[in-house]
Structure 1
Amino acid sequence: MEVPKESMQGEKASSLSKSMAKGLPVPAGSFPQQPFPTPSPFSISVASTGWSSRPPINLYSLFLRFLAFLFSFVSALSLVILSPKKKDRESSASSFGEYSELMYCFTITMLAFAYSVFQIFKGILEIADKGIIMSDKVSDYTSFIVDQLLVYLLVSSSSVAISAIKTIEASSPLRKASIISVGFSFATFLVITICALFSGYKLCKRIIW
């Protein structure tokens, strides 16, 4: 006659409890093994969030993109605010729009500003797993190419603007605005250069490794 499995487990548990009550040693492996609980599919784990699952290089790149956004914004804003306007300028003062070199520097910094805003928006969405604007492969190629192009444009615009600053009078407010703008434009160049190195590393890792 076959004894039910439930009754055998009940008798085993009863004998173990009696042995423990009398102080008798209980052999190892006598305790019934309980299965590990299966986590609920609705449970939220910190390790499953995008901020921890993404590699650290993505966080570093996002921080550098924010610096490029900040520096390019200050570079463009200094020319707009600190340079004299047409309605209040004197005969010895001039606006930055009259210098093609400064206009070129202003245009490139605005391009860097818009590109940095796009990269920040894309990076936040990718890290937070809220959506993907473009695939990782297209993003790596695009970032590497545009970073290289912006690095060249920023260094060339800063160099051209320096030559224009030398022709501006020392007492003119435009000279001070131009120096601030070129300084932050060069800082943007340095930051995007590091971003270009990160983009090249990610692209090489995708192609070679």
Structure 2
Amino acid sequence: MAMVPADAGAKPPPDLEKPDHSTQNGAPNSAAAAVAGGGGGGRGSGGGVVDSVVARWRREDMLDKSPLALHAAAAAFAFVALVLVASNQHGGWMEFDRYQEYRYLLAITALAFAYSLAQALRHALRMRRGVDPVPAASGRLLDFASDQVVAYLLMSALSAATPITNRMRSAVINRFTDTTAAAISMAFFAFVALALSAMVSGYKLSKQTYM
């Protein structure tokens, strides 16, 4: 009679059993899912950071270019106002130099034109060559203060010239009064451009660090 080995019915040791790869061949296990989830979240947050950085760069680029555009616009509007006032001479009472309000408007528009043109040239040189004739810290303070002063003077000239022009236009409308009204409108647009430039300069000044 054949002898049956004693260990024939014994189970194989646990370390020899076939490992279960169902979690590897099928759905990923919890650790892999956590890694995958973490990687996806990292990519999402990284995209948000990149978007915020790009938006910040665009905002800073716009703020860097805006002084040139605003001063150039102010110079153009002030020049048109200056020409309109200076050429408004049609004889008799229709001479601009007979009225101190219009002489004041002429002087202030000339000042605004000269100042805005100088500032536009300065910012164009800075953007083209990367060199500002005025140091950065002093330049921001200069922009903020001088923009406000010239804008205030323009508003003062507008306040002086508008009432007398309204009285004239209530009595008669002709080339003289139309030209004066157009000059006042151009001076007002120059004021708006300088006021916006002052706001941009004030924002830059508030963000300036002294360390």
Contact between 1:96 and 1:102, CA under 8 Å: does it hold in 2?
A: yes
Distance 1:138 1:208, change over 3 A: closer
Q: Secondary structure at the match of 2:208?
A: helix
Structure 1 gaps of 5+ residues are: 1-51
Identity, in percent, stands at: 25
Separation in 1 of the partners of 2:79 and 2:204? 27
The answer on 1:76 being equivalent to 2:82 is yes
- Normalised to the residue count of structure 1, the TM-score between the two structures is 0.66
Asked if structure 2 preserves the Cα contact closer than 8 Å seen for 1:75 and 1:109, the reply is yes
Partner Cα separation in structure 1 for residue 172 and residue 145 of structure 2: 39
* TM-score normalised per structure 2: 0.66
Root-mean-square deviation (Å)? 2.1
Residue number in structure 2 paired with 1:184: 186
Once the 2 structures are TM-superposed, how far is the Cα of residue 207 of structure 1 from its aligned partner? Answer: 4.8
Whether the aligned pair in 2 keeps the contact of 1:99 and 1:164 (CA below 8 Å) is no
1:162, distance to aligned residue in structure 2 (A): 0.6
The structural deviation recorded for 1:203 is 0.8
Equivalent residue letter for 1:132:
D
Contact 1:65 1:116 in 2 (8 A): yes
Distance 1:62 1:192 in 2: 11
- Which residue in the other structure is 2:52 paired with? none
In 2, the alpha carbon distance for the partners of 1:132 and 1:197 equals 20
Rg (Cα) greater in structure: 2
Following superposition, the deviation at residue 171 of structure 1 comes to: 4.0
Which of the pair is proportionally richer in helix? 2
Cα distance in 1 for residues equivalent to 2:178 and 2:128: 41
Whether 1:59 aligns to 2:49 is no
1:132: how far off?
2.8
Residue type matched to 2:192 in 1? L
1:124 & 1:59 partners in 2: Cα distance? 9
SS at match of 2:94: coil
1:170 to 169, 172, 175: 172
CA distance in 2, matches of 1:173, 1:206: 49
Does the CA-based 8 Å contact 2:123-2:132 persist in structure 1? no
